[in-house]
Amino acid sequence: MNDQLQEILEDLHAAESKCQGFEKQYGLLSEYFFDAFTNGEIADDGNLDFVEWAGYYKSKLDRLRRYRVALLKESPAVKRFQKIAVYEAVA
């Protein structure tokens, strides 16, 4: 694994870890929290945890996107798998 992929993966794991802490604290999965928070269904009411949680979740999503892009550029095995998956979906 190259350095870029490793760095992205480390950032992704760090963001996931922070999100899991908030999930345990508030009893809500980050995906559902973020959706409700961004739709105004959960107000921050001065609770900096919510702003921080939303930031870590956005960071997680960004790092996941970056990881997928970088992995597809770097890994011939992933490219072959992707072609097989597309072929099977069409067949």
> Any alpha helices (H) in the chain, and if so which ranges?
3-26, 30-38, 48-74, 76-90
Q: pLDDT tens digits for 4-27?
A: 888 999 999 999 999 999 999 999
Mean pLDDT of each 10-residue bin along the chain, 91 residues long: 86 97 98 96 88 97 92 70 57 51
> Does pTM surpass 0.75?
yes
CB distance 63 to 32 below 8 Å: no
Closest Cα partner for 17 from 51, 63, 60, 49?
60
pLDDT computed for residue 70 by the predictor: 85
pLDDT computed for residue 74 by the predictor: 74
